[in-house]
Amino acid sequence: MPKLKTNKSAAKRFRVTGSGRVKRARAFKNHILTKKSKQRKRRLRQGAIIEKVDMPNIRLLLPYGN
């Protein structure tokens, strides 16, 4: 069976944890930060776990769990 190609754009956005779950960064932390509160920006620093319904699609993009 041939090797599967990893989707490189997905590999840069997602990380697989040791338990097999997929981490992602939070959105809305790139620009126009002056009107966002310190507390909101601090919360946006934290990573998040991908929802279960999105997992099958992410698994196709990351076949080797990058």
Question: What does the pLDDT look like over 2-53, one tens digit per residue?
Answer: 999 999 999 999 999 999 999 999 999 999 999 999 999 999 999 999 999 9
Q: How confident is the model at residue 65 (pLDDT cuts 50, 70, 90)?
A: confident
| Residue 18 structural domain | 8-61
CATH number of the structural domain spanning residue 23: 4.10.410.60
Residue 21 placed within a domain? yes
The residue among 31, 26, 3 whose CA lies nearest residue 13 is 26
Residue 37 placed within a domain? yes
Residue 1 placed within a domain? no
| pLDDT score of 58 more than 70 | yes
Residue 32 placed within a domain? yes
Residue 2 placed within a domain? no
Query: Which residues face 22 on adjacent strands?
Result: 16
Looking at residue 30, the DSSP 8-state letter turns out to be S
Into how many domains does the chain fold? 1
pLDDT for the residue numbered 53: 97
Residue 52 placed within a domain? yes
pLDDT for the residue numbered 66: 66
**pTM beyond 0.85, yes or no:** no
CA max distance for the chain: 53
